[in-house]
Amino acid sequence: MYNLELEKYLSEDKDLKLFLKGVKKEKEISIPEIPEGAIFFLFYILFKEYNGSILWIVNQVDNLEDWNFLSQIINNFYIFPPFVHLPYEKPLRSNITESKRIKVLEKLLSGEKVFILASVKSLIYPLYPPEKMKNNFIFLKKGIELEREKILNYLMENSYERSDRVERVGQFCIKGGIIDIFSPAYNYPVRIEFIGDEIESIRYFDVETQRSIELIDSIILSPINELLGEKDEEKVFLKNNERSYIFDYLDKNLLIILEDFDKTLSTLEKWDKKGYENYEKRINFKEKIPKDLYLTKDMFESYIKNFKRIVMNSQNPNIFFSFYSLPTFKGKGEILEKELETYIKSGYKIFIQTDYREIVEERIKKILKDIKFIHYDIKSGFIWENPKILFLTDKEIFGIKRRRIVRVQRKEKKLIDLSNFEIGDYIVHINYGIGKFLGLKKLTIEGKTKEYIQLEYANQTYVYIPLEEMHLIQKYISPSGQPPSLSKIGTKQWDETKRRVKESVKEIAEEIIKMYARREIEEGFAFSKDTEWQRELEASFPYEETEDQLKALYEIKRDMESKKPMERVLIGDVGFGKTELALRASFKAVVDGKQVAVLVPTTILAYQHWRVFKDRLDVFPVKVEVLSRLKPAQEQKRILEQLKRGEIDIIIGTHRILQKDVEFKDLGLIIVDEEHRFGVFQKEGFKKKYPHVDILYLSATPIPRTLSMVLSGIRQFSILETPPQNRLPIETFVVEFNQQIIKEGIIRELERNGQVYYVCNDISRLESIAEMITSLVPYARVGIVHGKMDEEKITKVMSDFYEGKIDVLVATTIIESGLDVPNANTLFIENAEHMGLAQLYQLRGRIGRSNRQAYAYFMHAPWKSLSPESIKRLEALKEFSSLGSGLRLALRDLEIRGAGNLLGKEQHGHMEEVGFYLYMQLLEEAIKEIKQERKEVKINCKIIVPYAIAIPETYIENPNDRIYFYQRLIGLENLEELENIRKEMEDMYGKIPRDVENLFILAEIKYRAERMGIIKVEILQDSVILHYTNGKREISLPKGDFIKQGKFIANFLKEISLVY
């Protein structure tokens, strides 16, 4: 339990003492409405003093996560979320929700003291009886003996899925004496290491790196979900009358807090009625469903009588508190200081929680000695009159409360580096061309058995590549994503292809260097350092910036403050915060008396940016206008005149801004949004017209790090890779097309005043879909939009949707990029099986852009009619909420597309011919050649040993994982990496066998030899021959096994390297 520094003051409050006494003695007490900020402290004291668990039942269905900040001060705080469906609607259970719920059930069954937050909706679903559920948990502790088969049987019986690598909840993996398991009851997967049947160790590990992160003594393995692997409560309880509810899991000493008892009862009554109607309808359709399945109002009232209760927001309270809400000062520093001074004189103790301590300290410097700053987060400020305490937050000080987010630490290199290849992948061998990777194959040559890489080429020709030549192979990826033709071995076709691409690459390298060299010698305007206004604008941002945003902002400001004209590309996924950074850069320019032009590809996007800029800059003397060809001629004329006179600070517009009649008084910054949507000629024309002006490009299409590295020093990049952490994961359902699910999903969204996207890529069907939706939900306002409509009509429809005049937007994938509608949080996609993962990922990014729970429904044809390939794709979609390797691969495809956009469409063909990675290599070489940079000559030392050395299949069974470690060992960049690989391997697979120890020694020998110019190391029985380009040297070896001899060679190379 957290120790609050102000606890000593709180304990003096008579009302609080009376409240705690009443909770212990009475069956029920009622309290009046209290400010949200005060709930934080009240619950903290209550949980600390009460001898039992607490269940807080609220009426809101969404946004339970808003209260997650209580976990800062209350240990064992858990959220028990609801599923999406109501009584007798089609059951829809997402993995995200199931994981959170099973975690709470595990805590309740273990008897721990917990504080649970639940929506009333969370309580209505039937459960197995506690005894049955408890029998499906298994306790594991370090040091105990347990047959591994028992754990494996348990996992299979409880619907866990066996996998080569654990990446998501519900998977397990066996690797020799190690079992990896991702139980839904824990935030991290666990790694259990056995010696015989004894559990040697248990540790959490990271999904991304697959490395252990924390040793633990014990773990409780839970079922995959509360229905013991099933997904449909109707089917489960149709054949099973043993049903319980969450109240049956609660200890008799538990305390229930009811947010609003009357509202809870009326909500349950409404659901009872709706559930009965749904039940009758479905029974009439001859569906087999169990009766009385869900918790009713009467059952709820009967259950809660068994527990102590606190009724909040009561009209007839029997306990009172002296809590009062505070007004907002909206950044008015002088009024704030005077007001606080008055409270201090009256004997109040003042506590402030702020993310802008420096600004606040500056504003209240006269009374600073009487102020205490607190670090825990509270929703809002309040006055607690009796103990004379006043709490202030940014909400009261600045008029806005930032939603805090968790800072994400940079992670180590992922196990799944997607430049690595897996069986079936297309690859490029620098000498042989495009082939197909068929895996590892053992061959015995001259009495030595070794693993080779097997590649297939045209006409079923096979090539076997020694592992030490693995560096000559790269994964084939292209912008189109289409499978390539295999190269023909024994012809000059591949050499000709390479020559042609090299010539083209040289041309583009010259063009790139010339283009940016011109800007390098120009002198621009050096903007001033940040002003107080700048800091105030940034303080009013309602979210906490990610590390990436802060880094990018620093880079943009540094460029603006230098004399050289800025030319920076800001890259980040939709919703990662590019617009906010562009806005801050614009404001910085305006404060220095300069004008800003924001160029966007569509009219609707222009209006969206205009609204965002106007709202954020409303309190400052900044004039923002929008210019597009859809504006009346007279209006355009007025804007152009004001722009020329300098009366408009920021102009946002489409291609209209590029026309000759647009003149500025003093343009200082150009921002180009979605830069790939503008032609090179248009962008270059703008740059020629304003050569000294800073330019910031925004792009939602990610680019590969490889490309940004190749172009670094020529073009500057800032990359936003961290998603905003305050967003809730989108609950994703993969379901057969079903009108009932569509109807219920739309109604649920409209009931919370939200909006819906319905995506179908068949334009001819959009009208009939709109009619279907109208027949299902007659009061829904439906709109249609697709790419074949004229721009004016698209703009009108999208604008109406943005302004809330349309409830359901039926669209093609035109919505993939564009409008940001935070109020749209339900998405239906028809025929999802025909779309790629990357496209579905981008479409799903349209929702979940506020703090409200979002729902995505990927609908497909009946299972029976699907091809095996479609079924495989849909199985991947089921786990779409987490970033599995399939989705990471899709995102890599997006990056490659981004590379194509950046380098120009004419380069697509060349990337297709040789693959992205080889293309990048050729581009880098061409740039270095033109810049006359010294080309590094990389030596690849060949190691010859008299016996077989390989990673045994008994140690690492999965060939893809063996390849991964071969690649790491062969391509060492430093010797520290060797130790990291050793730790990683031992962590994942257990004690390293002798054969693999030999491989580590060879890797060190290879690393040291290459840095000394040795091209071949030939190890014989009693000597070693070191081959140089200009000779060789033979050294005698000590008697003994290879480990002894290998260490001798490595040490010898280390010693002579000091001289060398």
Q: Give domain status of residue 909, yes or no.
A: yes
Angle (nearest 5°) at CA 801 between 798 and 803: 110
Q: Give domain status of residue 658, yes or no.
A: yes
Do 993 and 920 reside in the same domain of the chain? no
85 pLDDT exceeds 50?
A: yes
Confidence of residue 878 (pLDDT cuts 50, 70, 90): low
Q: Give domain status of residue 630, yes or no.
A: yes
Do 472 and 343 reside in the same domain of the chain? no
Evaluate whether 133 touches 229 at the Cβ level (below 8 Å).
Answer: no
State the Rg of the chain over Cα: 33
Mean pLDDT of 595-609: 89
Mean pLDDT of 764-772: 97
Q: Give domain status of residue 603, yes or no.
A: yes
Per-position DSSP letters for 501-556, written without gaps between them? HHHHHHHHHHHHHHHHHHHHH-----PPPP-HHHHHHHHT-SBPPPHHHHHHHHHH
What's residue 726's pLDDT? 59
Q: How far is Cα 107 from Cα 128, in angstroms, rounded to an integer?
A: 16
Do 108 and 239 reside in the same domain of the chain? yes
- Condensed to tens digits (0 to 9), the pLDDT of residues 1023-1035 reads 999 999 889 999 9
Do 700 and 557 reside in the same domain of the chain? yes
What's residue 888's pLDDT? 55
What's residue 1's pLDDT? 40
What's residue 904's pLDDT? 60
What's residue 613's pLDDT? 95
Mean of the per-residue pLDDT values for the chain? 86
Give the end of a domain, one of 354, 379, 398.
398
When comparing pLDDT for 19 and 689, which is higher? 19
What's residue 876's pLDDT? 64
Looking up residue 291, the CATH number of its domain turns out to be 3.40.50.11180
For residue 697, which amino acid is it?
Y
When comparing pLDDT for 698 and 449, which is higher? 698
Give the end of a domain, one of 720, 752, 786.
720
Two tokens at 524?
């621009």
Q: Give domain status of residue 462, yes or no.
A: yes
Relative to beta strand 54-58, strand 255-258 is parallel
- Per the structure, the count of domains in the chain is 7
Q: Give domain status of residue 896, yes or no.
A: no
Evaluate whether 1016 touches 1001 at the Cβ level (below 8 Å).
Answer: no
What's residue 280's pLDDT? 95
When comparing pLDDT for 752 and 850, which is higher? 752
564 pLDDT exceeds 70?
A: yes
Do 753 and 851 reside in the same domain of the chain? yes
Do 161 and 61 reside in the same domain of the chain? no
Looking up residue 1047, the CATH number of its domain turns out to be 3.90.1150.50
pTM, 2 dp: 0.80
Looking up residue 157, the CATH number of its domain turns out to be 3.30.2060.10
From 341, 316, 336, select the one nearest 326 (Cα to Cα): 336
Do 103 and 248 reside in the same domain of the chain? yes
Which of the residue ranges 261-270, 371-380, 757-766, 779-788 would you say has the lowest mean pLDDT?
371-380
Do 114 and 143 reside in the same domain of the chain? no
Give the end of a domain, one of 311, 342, 375.
311
Domain that holds residue 551: 522-720
Looking up residue 737, the CATH number of its domain turns out to be 3.40.50.300
Q: How far is Cα 532 from Cα 774, in angstroms, rounded to an integer?
A: 53
Do 526 and 481 reside in the same domain of the chain? no
Q: How far is Cα 897 from Cα 904, in angstroms, rounded to an integer?
A: 11
Do 554 and 660 reside in the same domain of the chain? yes
Do 679 and 804 reside in the same domain of the chain? no
Do 42 and 112 reside in the same domain of the chain? yes
Angle (nearest 5°) at CA 940 between 937 and 941: 130
Q: Give domain status of residue 834, yes or no.
A: yes
Q: Give domain status of residue 1012, yes or no.
A: yes
Q: How far is Cα 80 from Cα 246, in angstroms, rounded to an integer?
A: 10
- Condensed to tens digits (0 to 9), the pLDDT of residues 691-715 reads 789 999 888 765 665 555 556 556 6
Buried/exposed 595-612: b ≥16 CB within 10 Å, e otherwise = bbbbbbbbbbbbbbbbeb
- Condensed to tens digits (0 to 9), the pLDDT of residues 405-439 reads 333 333 333 333 444 677 888 999 999 999 999 98
Evaluate whether 421 touches 740 at the Cβ level (below 8 Å).
Answer: no
